[in-house]
Structure 1
Amino acid sequence: MTRRPAPLPEHLRGRAFRRDEAPELAAGRLRRLDLWSPARGVRLPAGDTQALDILRARQLLIPAGGAYSHTSAARAHGGPVPLDRDGVTTVHITTPPDIRRRRGKTVSGHSRPLGAEDVAIVNGVRCTRLFRTFCDLEEVLTFAELVAFGDWMIGRGKTGATVKRLTEALAATRLTARRREVLSTVIARLNAAAESPKESELRILLEDAGLGPFVLQLEIRDEHGRFVARPDLTLPALKIAIEYDGDYHRDPIQWRKDQARRRRLEALGWTYIVVTQVDLADPAALLADVRTAIRARS
C-alpha cells in the first residue's frame, strides 16, 4: 500500500510555492503525487490544473517589475486565444528594459517599458491591462484572431470596452505608425454581436473576400411567429444563413436538434451553409459555395 505523503508545512498548504520557499522539504517529498510542477522551480497542489492555476503558480518566477503579457495576459482576462498559442503552454512575460528578459523553452520574453499604469491584478494574476494586452496581441495573432479578441472585449466579455473607448485609447497611446494603422483597422471591423471567436474569424474571412455585409444573430421565425433559429451570419434579403460548427462530438439529442433546425430553415426557403475549421484553414471551396449561393439567390 502506498503511504500517504507527509503533510506539508502550514505555510505551503493549499497554494503554489517556489522550491526555494521550502528548503526543509526533501526532493522526494516534492515528487509525491499530491504536488506537481508546471515549471521548473515551482510546485502547486495536484488538483490545481486549470489555466489560471498554472499562471498563478508560474508568476512566482516572474522578476519584480515584470508581468504576463500577450496571450498569457489575454487568458488572465478571460479572453479568447487560439489553442496553439494558449498563453499557458508557453507563457509571455514582459519586463522593463532594465530587468533581464526571461527566456526558456516555455517562456517568451519581451523587453519594453512597463509602468504601474500598464499592469493590473486580474483573477489573481499579475498581467498587462486589457488595452495594453489588445495592443500587444497584434504581435502574435492574425488579423482575424485579433478581431475575435476585440469582438469579445466589446461584447460578451463585459469589459466595459466600446469601439469609441478603444479608438480614444488608441489615439492616446504611443505606437509605431504601422501598429497604429493595424489596430485602427481592427477596431473598425469589430462587432459586439459576435458570439464566438470562430464566428468572428469566419466573418472576417467572408468580408475580406468581398462578401456581405452580414447580419449577426438574426432571429428567424416561421409564419406563426415561432422561433426557428438564430444563425451566426445571415444575408436576410437572399435568405442565406451561415454558421460555424465546432469540431466536437455532440450527444445524440443535440445532433437531432441541429438536424431539425436545419430542416425547418430549409423548409422556410433558407439556404443553410455549415462551416468547420477545415473550411477556415483552406477556404477556397467555402468561398466558392457562398458565391454560388449568392448568385442563385440574386
Structure 2
Amino acid sequence: MTRLQPLPGGLPERFHVAHAMEKGASRTRLRASDLSAPFHGVRSLSLGEADTILDRCRSYVPRLAPGQFFSHETVFVLRGLSTPEWPYVPRIHVSAHRPAREPRTHGVVGHRLQTREPAIDVGPEGMPIENAVRAWRQCGRLWGLDDLVAGADALLAGRHPIASLGDLEEEVALMGDVRGGILRRSLALARPGVRSPRETHLRLLLVRRGFPEPDVNVDIFSTRGEFVAEIDLAFAAWRVAVEYDGRVHAEDPRQFARDADRWAAIRDAGWDHVRILNHHLRGGGAPAVAMVRAALIRAGWRPGL
C-alpha cells in the first residue's frame, strides 16, 4: 500500500487548496482519500459529512474572498435565532457589496449586493456575518410572513435586544420593501419581549381566529403582591394565561415538580392557566384555539363583543 506523504505543518483542520500548495503540498496529495472536499477548492481533515449549517460554514471559511461574508438566513442560524421550521431547510448564503464579486459554487447561494457601506459583525469563531437587521430584511425574499414576524420578534427580544423596532423600520425605509410590502406587514405584527418562535406563531394564530390580542410576557402577582410567574401570553382583562410548553424538561422529574408548583401558583393567583403543547398546534392549531376559547368563555368573554 502506498504510504501518504505528510501534509505540510501548520495547516488548519479546513484549508484552501491554494494555501496548502503554497506550503508545498502536491495536487496528488490533496486528492488523497484521507481528505474530504466539502467545497470546491477546500480540503478538510475530517472525513465525516458536515451535518449542520455551522459545520458547513466552518468548511466554507477558507474560500471566503476579501469583502465576502455570510448573510441572509445564514446569519439567523449562526446567531441561534428563529428560522422557519422543518421541512424548510435554511441554506448557506454568502454576499459581497459591489464592486466585489459574490461566490459562484455548488452548495452556496451567492449575492452581489448594492453598493453600500458594509456593516459586518463577528459571528461564531470569528466568521464575518451580515448585520442582523440587514439580514432580516434580506430574508424578506425567502420567508413567509409569520416567519418574518418571528425573526423580527427574535431581534426585539431579551433584556438587551439585538435591534429596536425603529432599527428595522429604518432599514426597510432606506432599502425598500419587497414582495408586496411583506416586511412592513410583518413589523406591524412584531412585538418586543417574545421568547420563542412558537410563542409568535401561537399569538398570530389566536389573533387571526378572532381573539383579543394578548399581552406578551406579563408578570403576575399573588393577592399579597408577591411575584408568581411571567406569562407568555396574557388576556389580562379575563385573567387567562396562555403558555407554550416545549416539553424541554419532560424527562426531568425535579424540573417537572417545579413547573407543577408554578402552575398551581398561577391558578391560586386567580388566573386560568392554559398550557399549549406541540401537538396542539399541528394541523392548523385547532386544539390550541379550542382550549383558549373555552378558557376565555369561562372567564366571561364572548366572541364579537
TM-score range, shorter chain: 0.7 to 0.9
Shift of 1:119: 5.0
What TM-score do you get using the length of structure 2 for normalisation?
0.77
| Mapping 1:121-200, distance limit 5 Å | 121-123=121-123, 124-156=126-158, 158=160, 161-176=163-178, 178=180, 181-200=181-200
Shift of 1:6: 9.4
Query: For each residue in 1:71-127, what CA deviation from the matched residue of structure 2 results, as whole angstroms up to 9, or x when unmatched?
Result: 11223344322454564xx312345798576353x43x2444343524514222233
Query: For each residue in 1:137-184, what CA deviation from the matched residue of structure 2 results, as whole angstroms up to 9, or x when unmatched?
Result: 122323222112111212328455212232222212134471xx2111
Shift of 1:19: 3.5
Secondary structure (helix, strand or coil) at the match of 1:31 reads coil
Shift of 1:213: 1.9
Shift of 1:232: 0.5
The reply to whether residue 253 of structure 1 matches residue 254 of structure 2 is yes
> What value does the CA root-mean-square deviation take over the aligned residues?
3.4
Shift of 1:133: 0.8
Shift of 1:233: 0.6
Shift of 1:134: 0.9
Counterparts of 1:159 and 1:264, CA distance in 2: 30
Aligned to 1:269: 270
| Mapping 1:29-178, distance limit 5 Å | 31=34, 39=39, 41-43=42-44, 52=54, 54-62=56-64, 65-82=67-84, 84=86, 85=88, 87=90, 90-94=91-95, 99=101, 102=104, 104=106, 106-107=107-108, 109-118=109-118, 120-123=120-123, 124-156=126-158, 158=160, 161-176=163-178, 178=180
The reply to whether residue 17 of structure 1 matches residue 20 of structure 2 is no
Aligned partners of 2:203 and 2:213 also within 8 Å: no
Q: Which amino acid aligns with 2:297?
A: R
Structure 1 unaligned segments of length 5 or more: list them.
Answer: none
Secondary structure (helix, strand or coil) at the match of 2:266 reads helix
Q: Which amino acid aligns with 1:231?
A: I
Shift of 1:37: 6.2
Aligned partners of 2:71 and 2:135 also within 8 Å: yes
The share of aligned pairs that are identical, in percent, is: 24
Aligned partners of 1:37 and 1:44 also within 8 Å: no
Aligned partners of 1:97 and 1:111 also within 8 Å: no
When residues 97 and 173 of structure 1 are mapped into structure 2, their CA distance, relative to the original with a 3 A threshold, is closer
What TM-score do you get using the length of structure 1 for normalisation?
0.79
